[in-house]
Structure 1
Amino acid sequence: MPVTDISTDAENLTMTVAADFAAPIERLWHAFTDPAQLERFWGPPGWPATFTEFDFTVGGKALYYMTSPQGEKSGGSWEFLNILEPHGFDVIDAFADADGNPIEGMPAMRMTFGFESTDTGSRMINTSHFDSAEALEQVVAMGAVEGTRMAMAQLDAVLQDLREYAQGKGTRVELLDDTHVRITRLVNGPRELVWRAHHDAELVKKWMLGPDGWEMTESVVGTEVGQSYRNSWAPVGDTEGEPFGFEGEVLLIDAPRRAVTTERMQGMPTQTLNDLNLYEEDGATLVTVLIEYPDKETRDMILATGMADGMEESFARLEREVLEPTRS
């Protein structure tokens, strides 16, 4: 976790975030001033940002919105006040509507981004200056502290070369809090094909099988919001176990980047929210699945089934059976 400190100062009406990174100051600067890189971390897990405008000049504006798993949008704007490469920049940060106009009744603040070199890399100091104690309290009450902490925790993956960050590390499971788990796996193939492998029933049947000894008996995919999907498996040969399956509904589709679905075991009422994100760099795709569980007990019970091991075997099969043949 790169964030070392988040503090609020009611007397000086500020919120300050300090974070250390094992990357040079120039690399940190580019992460904060390139909208394509900002989109990968500016927004907590489950609320990724999309920048629609980025005029990085004094007096220029950046417009963005963050999208929830249910498709809700929360917009924001930056007006650049000064820029001093690579040491920092200042903006007026405001909540914005779909047209980029400030939302009445929502606080605006002056936000300073400062970057400095350290013995181990670089440090960011981000300070938000509020007009009143009420504005500071409003932003904190909206979850700004924890949201910022979780957003900045995504920066390590951005600052490193993607293959350096994830190649050869298999399927990784991160417990973000009691109900959220992030699963990541780098697969050696282009995003368009990885997306199709998740949304083409014939391709799904080739790789989404978990451990050896199981076959997929049914695959009905959902490719539009509101559609249902259903996948079923059964043991083959001497494999022990009972047939089972999962089903759910599509809540959001942003091909080939993001798909959000509900998921429940067939015949069971308990469901999770699965947020699939795909990011491609240098011919490899980072698959990220953010799972929201109804409670900690359900989270622990499902993880204890060996779910991550089964996902790793499926991802390995995806590379072997679907992606590698396209390179021959």
Structure 2
Amino acid sequence: MTVVSSTKNLEALSFTLVTEFDADVKRVWQVWEDPRLLERWWGPPTWPATFEQFDFQRGGKAAYYMTGPDGTKARGWWRITAIQAPNQLEFDDGFADGNGDHVEAMGITHATVTLEEVGDRTRMTVLSTFESEEQMNQMVEMGMEEGMKEAAGQIDALLAEHSNP
């Protein structure tokens, strides 16, 4: 994986991560649509994800938790707002409490994932937009940028493992 860019835009209340992979768009799309593959990279290596619910369709919901090195569980959810397979996925992303309910104080982040062919590679752009400057700063302080880079860094191994013969 090559990180092409990582950009915070306070004015637009956004964070954009652009990466490229040595695989075609359909193979990269699989790491989003298959929850067993998704949970192998969603979250940094020290905070692996487990998806308990995954309804991959517009209006569908996903529920997951990430387990930290000390056993702490951080819960989250997605509400899928758009799917244009295999090139675009949009979802709202939020934190959840122990019952799986939205933690209002953390707000909602909207993610737009775009996959496009660039020669024989795939460029993946993940645009995260925030509700407020305060929310964006809070997420940056929590290590979102580094965490997203580490998480995306796990995708290459999955692509190599699940390559087409």
Q: Is the 8 A contact 1:2 1:156 kept in 2?
A: no
TM-score by length of 2: 0.95
**3-state secondary structure, aligned to 1:29:** helix
Amino acid at match of 1:114: T
Quote the Cα distance in structure 1 between the aligned partners of 2:54 and 2:2. 26
Quote the Cα distance in structure 1 between the aligned partners of 2:137 and 2:119. 35
Aligned to 1:160: 160
Amino acid at match of 1:13: L
Measured against aligned partners, the alpha-carbon deviations of 1:141-195 in whole angstroms (never above 9, x if no partner) come to: 100011111111111001112699xxxxxxxxxxxxxxxxxxxxxxxxxxxxxxx
Aligned to 1:97: 97
Aligned pairs for 1:14-163 (under 5 A) are 14-161=14-161
Between the two proteins, the alignment pairs up a number of residues equal to: 164
Measured against aligned partners, the alpha-carbon deviations of 1:106-146 in whole angstroms (never above 9, x if no partner) come to: 12111111111111310111001111111111100100011
Q: Which runs of 5+ in 2 are unaligned?
A: none
**3-state secondary structure, aligned to 1:16:** strand
Amino acid at match of 1:158: L
Q: Is the 8 A contact 1:65 1:73 kept in 2?
A: yes
The structure showing larger relative contact order (alpha-carbon pairs under 8 Å, at least 6 residues apart) is 2
Q: Which runs of 5+ in 1 are unaligned?
A: 165-328
Measured against aligned partners, the alpha-carbon deviations of 1:80-122 in whole angstroms (never above 9, x if no partner) come to: 0011010111101101123321113112111111111111310
Which of 1 and 2 has greater Rg? 1
Q: Percent identity?
A: 41
**3-state secondary structure, aligned to 1:95:** strand
Which stretches of structure 1, 4 residues or more, deviate above 3 A after TM superposition? none
TM-score by length of 1: 0.48
**3-state secondary structure, aligned to 1:160:** helix
Measured against aligned partners, the alpha-carbon deviations of 1:199-247 in whole angstroms (never above 9, x if no partner) come to: xxxxxxxxxxxxxxxxxxxxxxxxxxxxxxxxxxxxxxxxxxxxxxxxx
